[in-house]
Amino acid sequence: MYSKRLKRVFDAVFALIGLIVLSPVLLTVAALVRRRLGRPVIFKQQRPGERERIFTLYKFRTMTDECGEDGELLPDGQRLTEFGAFLRGSSLDELPELLNILKADMSFVGPRPLLIRYLPYYDEFQRRRHSVKPGLTGLAQINGRNASSWGDRLNYDIKYAENVTFAKDLMIVASTIGKVLRREGVSAENHATMESFIDYVKRERQDGT
């Protein structure tokens, strides 16, 4: 009953309340992003959701558009500004995802929506993470966030997807608040955020041979 019906009702109600209550914060952050990073203020990117259905994810912009001599974007670590790092560390960059939750693209709790280009690299077990809606936070985020390995992160995603309960969602939300306040697990070692899943898969395959 909860995972099939009530979870969506709670998502819609609390997303709407969040957008109203946090509107001053949203407007303030938007103004600061516009001033410090320029346009566009909102970063939009296609991501796979439940059953791998593609949707548009909304976040506050945290990086510049600086390119190298070859015309290609510089690595994330070089484009991530101090202000952008603050937004990520405080999770303020995630606030526009309340719109995704209201639109039913996402839930408050679920596996984080990853990149489309990762889809061909999942094995059948890892694809189970897409059996539920992606979330603003999830079991993986309270167990290491970006500092955890891809293997652990995906295992936590699947563990959640296979047993969605109201009690578990409450626990994850409460734990997430603590993690954000302590700014734990914002980035992986030697990475601005986290190692590419594709690089992880290639390394694992190479080590396996």
Orientation angle between helical segments 23-36 and 7-21, nearest 10 degrees: 60
Instruction: Render pLDDT for 35-83 as a digit per residue (tens, 0 to 9).
Output: 998 889 999 999 999 999 999 999 999 888 777 767 676 676 777 888 8
Residue 108 has a pLDDT of 97
Indicate the pTM of the whole model: 0.88
**Tokens standing for 70?**
């070859």
Band of residue 168 on the pLDDT scale cut at 50, 70, 90: very high
Within 8 A by CB and 6+ apart from 87, the residues are 29, 33, 60, 62, 93
Structure tokens at 153: 């992160």
pLDDT tens, residue by residue, 135-166 = 999 999 998 776 788 999 999 999 999 999 99
Quick check: 189 pLDDT over 90?
A: no
